[in-house]
Structure 1
Amino acid sequence: MSERKSPWVIDTRELGRRAGLSREVHRIAPTESALGVEGVISVPKGAEVRLDVLLESVVEGVLVSGTAFAPVEAECSRCLDPIRGEEIEVEFTELFAYPDSATEQTTDSDEIARLVDDLVDLEPVVRDAVVLTLPSAPLCRPDCAGLCPDCGVKWADAGPDHRHETIDPRWAALTERFSTDRDE
């Protein structure tokens, strides 16, 4: 966990260790790197993520649950138009185990988050929740028709009479034969 004062890091000392205590935290935290797949869909680097968090003291640690709201930039997977002005809302829940708790002692280090100096770092938790929530094929609108596979023009701009004459290659020899007969 970083030594510098990060808006992603929350000090739990004010919460106390008695089970049943809770505290709400609301803050804005900028992303240090893009969350998601840049160029496809992501929360851009430096974007402000609004966090509404509830910290609850439980026997084994601090249960952190909340919601994150973040702006999203994307490219439509059908027509390739940019998508801006969208916001994603993700919910997350994570247990941060106390040092020397039964949970901390019985789980591998990568299975559960841990409190370090009574601090919880929400950045990995929010990053994971955002990445899992982002669609793999973002759309500018649900009925986006995409691009014409022959010329690349957007179907929305092409109009209903847009067509390309294509001949099945298996019939091409016959087409050539009949077009030669007509020319004579």
Structure 2
Amino acid sequence: MMTQNRPSPASPWVYDTRLLSRQAGVMKRVQETLTSDERMGIDVLAIPAGEPIRLNLRIESVVEGVLVSGTAISRAVGECARCLTVIDRPVGADLRELYAYPNSVTAQTIEDDEVLILTDDYIDLESLVRDEIVVQLPLAPLCRPDCPGLCPTCGERLDDLEPGHSHEILDPRWAALRNQFGTQSSRPE
């Protein structure tokens, strides 16, 4: 049975399920905008710490526990994986999680890592939002799908360079001849 650390009732992310009175069918809507003290995401793209996250949730009592469903929407900031420009885009996730009552049939019959257990009748929504947002983020975000990236020779953004940008690449074995005779080709007429 998977247990969580005890959520802090003082946190704005923690919801007290005692308001549902453990009666199946009792439901509360939660519409809030919260912020996290830590960034949510991966190295190249994340919701910055302090960025507002809009929650639109249904928290309802069911026979085996408390079901949380709804959406979380915010803004992610990062870098394009090809050209390294700043990316700033909306990000959202659908949320759906059952928090089982500690002695329910669900808590006793489901594998340890497949169910969350209510701890002192509190739910930590931040961990749920974090888990669902992170899986929505691309591992290699792009500023646009056809981003050409950087020039492999000079490292400049290809979007900023003239069309047909290229570099003359000379085989190092011929460099001594080039230094000796220059780049002009002289052909006898």
**TM category, shorter:** 0.7 to 0.9
1:160 corresponds in structure 2 to 163
Contact 2:9 2:16 in 1 (8 A): no
Note the C-alpha offset of 1:52. Answer: 0.7
Residues 7 and 162 (structure 1), Cα distance of their counterparts in 2 relative to 1, 3 Å cut? same
SS in structure 2 of the partner of residue 130 of structure 1: helix
TM-score (norm 1): 0.85
1:2 corresponds in structure 2 to 7
Q: Could you tell me the percent identity over the aligned residues?
A: 49
Residues 51-106 of structure 1: CA deviation (Å, up to 9, x unaligned): 1111122110011111001211110111101113x220111110000121111122
Tell me how many residue pairs correspond in the alignment. 181
SS in structure 1 of the partner of residue 113 of structure 2: coil
The one of 112, 115, 136 equivalent to 1:133 is 136
Q: In angstroms, what is the RMSD of aligned CA positions?
A: 2.7
2:55 corresponds in structure 1 to 51
Q: One-letter code of the match for 1:63?
A: L
Contact 2:45 2:78 in 1 (8 A): yes
Cα distance in structure 1, aligned partners of 2:117 and 2:172: 64
Note the C-alpha offset of 1:172. Answer: 8.2
Residues 112-143 of structure 1: CA deviation (Å, up to 9, x unaligned): 11112221111111111111110111111222
SS in structure 1 of the partner of residue 159 of structure 2: helix
SS in structure 2 of the partner of residue 14 of structure 1: helix
Structure 1: which 4+ aligned runs deviate by more than 3 Å? 107-110, 167-176
2:93 corresponds in structure 1 to 90
Query: How do residues 1-184 of structure 1 correspond to structure 2 at under 5 angstroms?
Result: 1-38=6-43, 40-84=44-88, 86-167=89-170
Cα distance in structure 2, aligned partners of 1:134 and 1:87: 10
If asked which structure has higher relative contact order (CA below 8 Å, sep 6+), I would say 2
Contact 2:9 2:122 in 1 (8 A): no
Note the C-alpha offset of 1:179. Answer: 8.1
Cα distance in structure 2, aligned partners of 1:174 and 1:70: 60
- Unpaired stretches in structure 1, ≥5 consecutive residues: none
Contact 2:8 2:14 in 1 (8 A): no
Note the C-alpha offset of 1:107. Answer: 3.2
Q: One-letter code of the match for 1:147?
A: L
- Unpaired stretches in structure 2, ≥5 consecutive residues: 1-5
